[in-house]
Amino acid sequence: MEVIDLAWWKLGLAALLVLALAATAYLGRLGITRSLLVAAIRTVIQLALIGLVLEALFASSAFYWIALLAAVMLLVAGREVVARQGRRLKGGWAFGIGTGAMFVSSFTVTVLALAVVIGPEPWYTPQYAIPLLGMMLGNTMTGVSLALDRLNDSVWRQRAVIENRLMLGQTWQQALEDIRREAMRSGMMPSINAMAAAGIVSLPGMMTGQILAGSPPAVAVKYQILVMLIITVGTGFGAVMAVSWGGRRLFDDRERLRLDRLTKP
């Protein structure tokens, strides 16, 4: 099946709909007109640029260029994790913990999926590696940021309870157990909900894209199942690591709660 290309002026028609939505938001005084337009412009510019980068990358297929792009994607995702937290650890800890958790979880699961499950030759073939890593980082970024935001906010709100537990002789892990559990759940729930609704409520993006590109639906379904499973695994482990590392940072070596290590919202 031939793939139907889209002319840029046709995309402009879709952009007019965004402008209509922005006008509606402005007239309704929703306060989101500027952010909506900025987000739309960023989407167009960023995707157009990454399209050019990917075309050059697919033509080269050199490992060092793929590794460089993967590193840039990871650093940008780490920056977004920091930006999405109302309260965050001071210094470089918020960035370091979020980025480290995403690196360990996303990169490990992606390499495993490429080398063992999909098996392209070489395993870092950019056609498979970059889209897969991008989906992994995007979803893990959301899970990690939600988990850390819930952790930090809950610790701040329940500081009196935590300190009372510490005075009763509990360790920092015991004093923080309920909060850590809820924070991890918060990070994992979006991926779990997406899996539960896939195929019934919605057709996931990768599957839809492959079908539009001409792939047989059966092949697209198998790839989508793989993607959703590994995304959930990567997001889950990323949230667990981020909450564990972040929780430890909130206490000093004598297991005293250190709220001065959190920024104000």
One digit per residue, the tens of pLDDT, for the chain of length 265 reads 566 777 888 888 999 999 999 999 999 988 999 999 999 999 999 888 988 888 888 888 889 999 999 999 999 999 999 998 989 999 899 999 999 999 999 999 999 999 999 998 889 998 889 989 998 999 999 999 999 999 999 999 999 999 999 999 999 999 999 999 999 999 999 888 888 877 766 666 767 777 766 778 788 888 888 888 999 999 999 999 999 999 999 999 998 999 999 988 7
Any idea what DSSP says for residue 4?
Answer: P
> For residue 112, what are its two tokens?
């495993």
For residues 98 and 75, what is the distance between their CA atoms, to the nearest angstrom? 10
Question: Per-domain residue ranges for the chain?
Answer: 1-60, 61-261
For residues 6 and 48, what is the distance between their CA atoms, to the nearest angstrom? 13
- Kindly tell me the sign of the dihedral angle through the C-alpha atoms of 105, 129, 51, 229: negative
pTM (2 d.p.): 0.84
Biggest alpha carbon–alpha carbon distance for the chain? 70
